[in-house]
Amino acid sequence: MPHIVYAIFLLSFHISAIAVLLLFTWRLWSNVSFWRFAKHSASSKQPQVSVLVPARNEEQSITACVESLLRQDYPFFEVYVLDDCSTDRTGALLDNMAAQNQKLHVIHQTQEPPEGWVGKVYACHQLAQHAPGEWLLFTDADTIHSPKSLSLGMASGQKLQVSCISALPFQQTKTWSERLFVPFILHILPIFGWDFRAQWQNKGNSIANGQYMLVNAKEYQQIGGHAAIRHALLDDFALVQQFQLHGYSTALCNGAEWLQCRMYHNAREVWNGFAKNIMLGLNNSGSEKRPAGFAALFSWGYASVFVMPWLLLFTLQWTAFIEIIWILALYTFAAVQYKRQLAEILIFPISALSILILGLYAILRQRQKKAIYWKGRAYASNVLDEM
């Protein structure tokens, strides 16, 4: 009897693995072809763009971010930065830069957000109130933009005729903890797990990356702006889904040539930051609650492709060997799309197992209803139930 149960267990994993690998293969081909289609030369129509940057205690990164934004080759833009109650030198650095460049405008926020508002969401709301542009680019203070960032974003947005276009930046990794987690979570899983063409065609839910959110200002106001998602911890997901709910098209593109970002700088930041994101992502998709059992189903599919084939390889099963070659080929091709390093590809099996452990940790924290801490502010766990 135990042998029969074991055989059924293995067969279930292999069937799941083949099904997921087929899905990944289709998604990878479809997404790469869509991103190539979205590329377009600059349009003759170049409306005014307001670049909006919320900044809270960002003295280490704000200068490089703002300087990269001020170097844009796009002809019509201004930069607005909100110093969100910073207790470091962020405000002083911004004032010094603003005194030397008329395109930079600094807003100093000295009060905490009103009750019911998430800090970053309120900062973006404040910025939008000051922005005169026909288009608004919301971007994070830890990003570095190429000189063509605005031009490429506007060109793709006009080519696709969308109200909101977001981008996945090139993620910088300098420590091994970053290399272990960052490329896999922020580059590989999205290109395998999401249908970017279907999002553009308004089929199903939409996702986005808050590091680059370029929106049509008029339509942004029509959907209620950030005030409509004031409670959202996943503000990027929630905002783009507001556009979808109001019938507007959105798109998410490969922004490796548009901008780069180093989200985390050590193992503690990597672990805590991704644990927060995974906990929220497994619970909801931005504006909608996940169905019951989603975490378990996701974990099963993930393990069947990224973990079990490596464990079964020691039993000399030829099916596991085929699955490993298949996922390695897909992973390498996906990594090349984001210009990832060879070292990050070689540690892929360790990354996969580490992320599974991180996911289990995030599920445990979610069940314990732990408070979520971000940028020095605490958010009660019951926020999850309200989203």
Poorest-confidence range of 20-34, 39-53, 325-339? 39-53
The answer to whether 189 and 357 are in contact (CB under 8 A) is no
Please write the tens of the pLDDT for every residue from 308-350.
888 887 776 778 889 999 999 999 999 988 888 888 888 988 9
Query: How confident is residue 289, by pLDDT bands cut at 50, 70 and 90?
Result: low
Residue with the bigger pLDDT between 183 and 80: it is 80
- CB of 244 within 8 A of CB of 252? no
Please tell me the predicted confidence (pLDDT) of residue 50. Answer: 98
Distance in angstroms (rounded) separating the CA atoms of residues 234 and 284: 9
Q: Check whether 81 has a pLDDT greater than 80.
A: yes
pLDDT tens, position by position, 92-133: 999 999 999 999 999 998 888 899 899 899 999 999 999 999
The pLDDT of residue 163 is above 50: yes
Distances (CA, A) of 9 to 2, 258, 298, 304, 385: 10, 45, 17, 11, 34
Q: What is the mean pLDDT of the chain?
A: 86
Q: How far apart are CA 150 and CA 164, in angstroms?
A: 13
Residue 385 has pLDDT above 50, yes or no: no
Domains with residue ranges and CATH for the chain:
2-34+285-376 (no CATH), 43-263 (3.90.550.10)
Percent pLDDT > 70 in the chain is 87
Once rounded to an integer, what is the mean pLDDT over residues 356-385? Answer: 63
The pLDDT of residue 361 is 81
Whether the per-residue pLDDT at 250 is higher than 50: the answer is: yes
Give strand ranges (E) for the chain: 49-55, 77-84, 104-109, 135-139, 143-145, 164-171, 212-216, 250-261, 372-374, 377-379
Residue 295, pLDDT above cutoff 80: no
285 vs 103, residue with greater confidence = 103
